């Protein structure tokens, strides 16, 4: 099987080949940029994960606020006891 091409056709084929090579190089460059950007995203996701880990450790003791609220209620109850005691004593002192 013999392909018979004119000189003009061969020239166009060569141009198409060089254009294809240029496309390959361009695609490689663009994909390199894509890889670099995705690597940057990966590093920043790692940074976000570290920050979230610290935030989770900081908020893990927030459940103690419930205990603190109960303690403040006990302080209020004790203050009411003091109020009643002082009221009785004050009444006796004045009488």
Partner 1 sequence: MNSLVVFTVIDIVLLIAGLAIYLFIVGGQLTRVATGLEECNELVQKIKDNASSIEGNLEHINRTGRVIAGALPLLYGMAEGIVVGATYEAEKVPARGPALPASGRRRSRLHDGVGYLPDGPGKSAHAPLADQAESA
| Residues forming the site for partner 1 (CB under 8 A) | 3, 5, 10, 13-14, 16-17, 20-21, 23-24, 27-28, 31-32, 34-35, 38-39, 41-42, 45-46, 48-49, 52-53, 55-56, 59-60, 62-63, 65-66, 68-69, 72-73, 75-76, 79-80, 82-83, 86-87, 89-90, 93-94
What gap in Å lies between CA 29 and CA 42, rounded to an integer?
Answer: 20
8-23 burial by CB neighbour count: b if 16+ within 10 A, else e?
Answer: eeeeeeeeeeeeeeee
- Closest contact distance (angstroms) between CB of 75 and partner 1 is 6
For the record, the structure tokens of 75 come out as: 């302080």
Q: What is the DSSP letter of 61?
A: G
For the record, the structure tokens of 1 come out as: 């099987």
Select 8 or 68, whichever has its Cβ closest to partner 1.
68
- Closest contact distance (angstroms) between CB of 8 and partner 1 is 13
């Amino acid at each position: 099987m013999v392909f018979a091409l004119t000189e003009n056709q061969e020239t166009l084929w060569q141009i198409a080949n060089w254009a294809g090579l240029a496309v390959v190089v361009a695609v490689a460059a663009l994909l390199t940029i894509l890889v670099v950007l995705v690597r940057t995203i990966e590093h920043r996701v790692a940074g976000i994960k570290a920050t979230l880990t610290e935030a989770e450790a900081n908020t893990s003791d927030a459940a103690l606020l419930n205990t603190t609220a109960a303690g403040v209620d006990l302080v209020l109850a004790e203050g009411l006891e003091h109020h009643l005691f002082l009221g009785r004593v004050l009444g006796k002192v004045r009488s």
